[in-house]
């Protein structure tokens, strides 16, 4: 028997970092004051049936993205549930401990309808539909329309969900992606959401495609990125079985679901040495 296949995320991630370090456009970002190396239009693609896309070239906190995706399905903007597991969104908290542009709130309430519920019903009634689009971006409040500096503007701003070849496929579009901190978190999180949705629709998982309009590395992370690309890729694929009734349990804010998923992934996860605490550029 041959060796098991390598973790696909590590392979694609290391290649993207190399391209940005070698060929990225080096410019000072006016909003942050930091120099970035950036490339446009980068894409990652994973067959989720072959393993969970999780970065092992350095250690990442597993419970953060798990709790976040459960919180999204709850449709809340108050941080109370998420803060039981992580403080990652605290810097974006506004009045009453809420994040006004919280992704899950925008999925489920912000636009006057429940986009996620509509998506599930659409694909249950018509599995061939190509209309399964969910938005986190509000053109009346974000980006061009905003006259004031906001604490949080969605980076992943839309995703499509389709059943192709009998399998659930998700295409996530990210307008701006910090490749050292945001990207591994976003990919793992939306992979998990794909498993949730697939299980709800009673179909197997298919492909997760992630398209990034601006993939960048901040100046304070250049040395970290150089170290990552020098590390050998050794970790095998990471199997994952979605717990039963995960979608419904997430909607109900079941804390045990977070722990079950964490325990399962942790058993399969042997990351390389941590790079230490890297500062988030806000």
Q: Per CATH, which fold does 8-268 belong to?
A: Thymidylate Synthase; Chain A (3.30.572)
Q: What is the pLDDT of residues 130-183, one digit of tens each?
A: 999 999 999 988 887 655 566 688 999 999 999 999 999 999 999 999 999 999
Q: Tell me the catalytic residues.
A: 155
d(CA 217, CA 225): 8
**Res. 129: pLDDT tops 60:** yes
Q: What is the pLDDT of residues 50-98, one digit of tens each?
A: 999 999 999 999 999 999 999 999 999 999 999 999 888 888 888 889 9
Give the orientation angle of helix 8-23 with respect to helix 222-230, to 10 degrees: 130
d(CA 282, CA 248): 33
What is the C-alpha R_g of the chain?
18
d(CA 250, CA 42): 31
Mean pLDDT of 193-214: 98
The encoded tokens of residue 227 equal 């170290």
What sign does the dihedral 107-113-115-116 (CA atoms) show? positive
pLDDT computed for residue 250 by the predictor = 98
Q: Which helix (H) or strand (E) holds 189?
A: helix 182-201
Query: What rounded mean pLDDT belongs to the chain?
Result: 94
Closest CA to 170 of 123, 114, 109, 112: 123
pTM (two decimals): 0.95
> Using CB atoms within 10 A of its CB, is residue 99 exposed (0-12), middle (13-18) or buried (19+)?
buried
HSE-CB of 53 using CA atoms within 13 angstroms: 30
d(CA 281, CA 190): 22
Closest CA to 192 of 26, 10, 70, 61: 70
d(CA 197, CA 127): 13
d(CA 50, CA 237): 7
């Amino acid at each position: 028997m041959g060796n098991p296949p390598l973790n696909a995320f590590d392979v694609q991630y290391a290649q993207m970092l190399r391209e940005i370090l070698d060929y990225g456009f080096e410019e000072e970002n006016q909003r942050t004051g930091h120099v970035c190396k950036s490339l446009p239009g980068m894409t990652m693609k994973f067959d989720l049936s072959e393993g969970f896309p999780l970065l092992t070239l350095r250690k990442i906190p597993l419970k953060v993205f798990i709790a976040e995706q459960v919180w999204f399905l709850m449709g809340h903007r108050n941080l109370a549930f998420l803060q039981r597991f992580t403080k990652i969104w605290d810097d974006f908290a506004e009045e009453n401990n809420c994040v006004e542009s919280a992704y899950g709130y925008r999925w489920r309430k912000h636009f006057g309808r429940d986009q996620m519920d509509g998506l599930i019903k659409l694909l249950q009634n018509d599995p061939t539909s190509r209309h399964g689009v969910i938005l986190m971006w509000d053109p009346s409040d974000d980006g061009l329309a905003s006259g004031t500096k906001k604490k949080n503007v969605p980076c992943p701003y839309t995703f499509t969900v389709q059943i192709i070849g009998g399998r659930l496929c998700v295409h996530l579009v990210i307008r701006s992606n910090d490749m050292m901190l945001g990207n591994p978190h976003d990919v793992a999180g939306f992979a998990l959401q794909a498993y949730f949705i697939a299980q709800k629709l009673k179909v197997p998982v298919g492909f997760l495609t992630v398209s990034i309009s601006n993939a960048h590395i901040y100046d304070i992370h250049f040395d970290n990125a150089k170290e990552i690309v020098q590390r050998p890729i050794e970790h095998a694929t990471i199997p994952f079985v979605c717990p039963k009734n995960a979608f419904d349990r997430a909607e109900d804010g079941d804390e045990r679901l977070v722990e079950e998923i964490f325990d399962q992934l942790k058993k399969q996860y042997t990351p390389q040495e941590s790079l230490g605490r890297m500062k988030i550029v806000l």
